[in-house]
Amino acid sequence: MAPPDFNPEEVTPRQLTWSRVRVLSFVVVTTGVAGLLMADLLWGMPLAGWAVVVWCLFVVLFALIAFGFAQAWFGYRVRRRGDDQTIDQTLPVDEESVPMASTAIVMPIYNEDVRRVYAGLRATFESVQRTGQGGWFDFFILSDSTDPNRWVEEEMQWVELSRELNARGRLFYRRRRVHVNKKAGNIADFCRRWGRRYRYFVVLDADSVMSGDTLVRLVRMMEVNPKAGLIQTAPQLVRGETLFARVLQFAARLYGPIFREGLNYWQQGEGNYWGHNAIIRTAPFMAHCALPGLPGREPLGGRILSHDFVEAALLRKAGWAVWLWPGATGTYEEGPANVIDYAKRDRRWCQGNLQHFWILIARKLHGVSRVHLTLGIMAYSSSLLWLLSLVLGTLLAIGFNFTGLSWLPMPGLAGAVGVGHKLQMGLLAGFTMVLLFGPKVLAVLDQLRQPEGAKPYGGKRALVKSVLMETLFSVLLAPVLMLFHSHFVVAIMMGRGVQWVTQRRGGDEDATTDWSEARSVLAGHTCTGLIWLGLLIWLAPTLMWWMAPLLIGLIGSIPFAVCSGRIGWGQAAFRRGWFLIPEETNPPSELRDLKRLIAHEHPAIPQVGAGADEGFVCVLLDPYVNAVHRCLLRERKSRAPLFHGYFARLRERVLTEGPQSLSAREKAALLADATSVDELHLAVWLRQPAGMAACWRQWLGAWSPA
């Protein structure tokens, strides 16, 4: 076996420290220079107390921007010279000589589009089979679905897929009876039941697809790195149909590589976990990653919502390395289809990240883990700081106009060397713009240096046009998200939690935004923008031009959300060659398979015309569906008499009044009760028609054996 190009154990603490010192020095120096310029502008301001607040907000926010640029800059430099310190470099030249190990592919799902879930799972399964290493992988669908019809459809799709792929004994389905702790609880349940059978497990999201080659390489990386507890890939957004989703996946695909390389440059084996498309060493995960309960009640206390950051910190605390594979290919997911669904997802992430304050102050955590947790908290808290700084700046400008006071009653240090305050403000603004938009330029330069150049993005002209339009898109989107995130942070701090909802994704046909939805969600944004504009026109007109991007984004948020959330606009952009990504110009086999499977997927349950109750009705009506569902239920050993009466009343209502008389929760309760499933199936076929609702006679007439 040829030696690897890189050995993580040879990276000395001194080398890693110097990488971090370079990044930190860049942030400190750039922030220091900008902070001095800003302090010089503010030091002579009449309202000195407020000037201190403005300066503090500026320094914190500028440091975050500088840190983002630093990651892009060092990532660009690393990619230019060739990165020889990534986890994939630990593999020997003859990779096939590295032995494989038992690995579980686990996919937790919750009320997802069943057809899409199984199409993605099948594409991954078949890709693994093509590697010739399929025998090392088992697949698990771990359901927490509460919708009765999706539950039944999941079961029948599993049976059908197992038969078609000849995967019995390798493809498993389980639905938890008690949905404790959401996704983290589902993974914990898998580990308790099956974890000891597998050396590794790979977590997928419901929309994830991974290539077999990538999965095999991940296993081999873990095998040659016995101290690695987790390797995270960076999944690429794909299958975006709306304009919003297409812009999102274009930006992630073009700008992502330099940021990931910059992230790997300073974190190395002290990285983070993003919750999916990652391989995990099972034994240390089971030993060290049981999630603690947080002090207090939700939303800031109680169960941990964003488990991934915490699990990475616990692995690192126990001495296991957590790696990012920045150059991973063959790993995909789907993004939100519109700005409203994007905000819904961020609402959940915001609460989870703010909870990390409790973990941040825990004892014995690794310092870099604390950095990751802090960055996660600031990802949403910074929006509130931006809003506060803008509001404060507006109020100060209005105050100066009312009082007639001068912003600069005496010259600062810059004035002593002949630099006027207007030039000083221009330098600060230019400095900020470079840090904000410089990474986009670096990403384009990096792509043009690649062997394929701009061809995967439709050519140089299409690439430049797409970048310019994406920049405009980001400018309009930023104030909308700022107001969303600020509202989320304040609501969470006031004790308002979040409900777990199914996400509409970029490839969903029903993911578009209509005018009524946009008005109901974004009316506050529009009103805020109009009131802000009115105050500036009346009281501080000179500030209006500086605030124009913010005001346009807020006032135009409703049409922006509707237009960007439409599939037609996304398709028009595709036809013009805008926002193309390599996965569209040269689709990999897994995505081609996924598209084919979704297009040709057929319903897994008989269609009897029951509409929204199709799955529920088929369990009670169709003998085959009933047998499959019944075999997956566990018998209750004992039950209190009170429950006997409750289920008996529900059964009678279903038969005499029809399924529509029950709530989704009551239907799910019946489907989870083996006795009720048996008795209802017999009653549907044996009871006299006069004793049942008319809908049952209709469905019995429409049913025919498969």
Q: For residue 492, which amino acid is it?
A: I
Query: At residue 1, does pLDDT exceed 70?
Result: no
The pLDDT confidence band at residue 704, using thresholds 50, 70 and 90, is confident
pLDDT (0 to 100) of residue 17 = 83
Contact 309, 272 (CB under 8 A): yes
Over residues 504-530, the pLDDT tens digits come to 655 555 667 889 999 999 999 999 999
Average pLDDT of the segment spanning 9-14: 63
Sign of CA dihedral 268, 451, 254, 29: positive
pLDDT (0 to 100) of residue 509 = 55
pLDDT (0 to 100) of residue 507 = 54
pLDDT (0 to 100) of residue 418 = 64
Q: Which of 292-296, 376-380, 639-643 has the lowest mean pLDDT?
A: 639-643
Q: Which of 51-55, 198-202, 496-500 has the lowest mean pLDDT?
A: 496-500
Query: Whole-number mean pLDDT of the chain?
Result: 91
Query: At residue 384, does pLDDT exceed 80?
Result: yes
Over residues 270-324, the pLDDT tens digits come to 999 999 999 999 999 999 999 988 998 888 899 998 999 999 999 999 999 999 9
Residues of the chain with CATH 3.90.550.10: 98-144+179-371+459-513+565-604
Query: At residue 602, does pLDDT exceed 80?
Result: no
- Longest alpha-carbon distance in the chain: 100
Query: At residue 95, does pLDDT exceed 80?
Result: yes
DSSP 235: P
Sequence-distant (≥ 6) Cβ neighbours of residue 222 within 8 angstroms: 101, 199, 200, 228, 231, 279, 281
Whether cis (ω within 30° of 0) applies to the bond prior to 108 is no
Q: For residue 381, which amino acid is it?
A: S
Over residues 204-234, the pLDDT tens digits come to 999 999 999 999 999 999 999 999 999 999 9
Sequence-distant (≥ 6) Cβ neighbours of residue 339 within 8 angstroms: 244, 477, 480, 481, 513, 557, 560, 561, 564, 565
DSSP 504: P
Over residues 164-177, the pLDDT tens digits come to 999 999 999 999 98
pLDDT (0 to 100) of residue 260 = 97
Give how far Cα 689 sits from Cα of 644, 651, 699, 700, 703, Å: 25, 16, 12, 10, 15
Q: Residue 295 has which token pair?
A: 């002090």
DSSP 596-650: HHHHH---SS---S-GGGHHHHHHHH-HHHHHHHHHTSPPPS---HHHHHHHHHH
Secondary structure tally for the chain: helices H, strands E: 27, 10
Over residues 317-328, the pLDDT tens digits come to 999 999 999 999
d(CA 611, CA 412): 73
d(CA 271, CA 577): 36
Average pLDDT of the segment spanning 531-542: 91
Sequence-distant (≥ 6) Cβ neighbours of residue 342 within 8 angstroms: 244, 248, 335, 336, 481
Contact 381, 486 (CB under 8 A): no
d(CA 266, CA 73): 12
Return the residue matching tokens 């499959």. 628
pLDDT (0 to 100) of residue 399 = 81
Sequence-distant (≥ 6) Cβ neighbours of residue 337 within 8 angstroms: 240, 241, 242, 244, 245, 504, 505, 506, 507, 508, 511, 512, 565
Contact 567, 241 (CB under 8 A): yes
What CATH number has the domain spanning 98-144+179-371+459-513+565-604?
Answer: 3.90.550.10
The pLDDT confidence band at residue 405, using thresholds 50, 70 and 90, is low
Average pLDDT of the segment spanning 111-123: 95
Return the residue matching tokens 């983290």. 184
The pLDDT confidence band at residue 600, using thresholds 50, 70 and 90, is confident
d(CA 292, CA 302): 9
| Whether this model's pTM surpasses 0.85 | yes
Contact 384, 390 (CB under 8 A): no
DSSP 522-535: HHHHHHHHHHHHHH
The pLDDT confidence band at residue 501, using thresholds 50, 70 and 90, is low
d(CA 176, CA 179): 6
Q: For residue 285, which amino acid is it?
A: F
Phi-psi region of 330 (alpha: psi -120 to 50; beta: other; left: phi over 0): left
d(CA 67, CA 277): 26
pLDDT (0 to 100) of residue 603 = 74
Percent of the chain with pLDDT over 90: 76
Return the residue matching tokens 């029948």. 156
Give how far Cα 29 sits from Cα of 58, 67, 414, Å: 15, 11, 18
pLDDT (0 to 100) of residue 10 = 60
Query: At residue 415, does pLDDT exceed 70?
Result: no
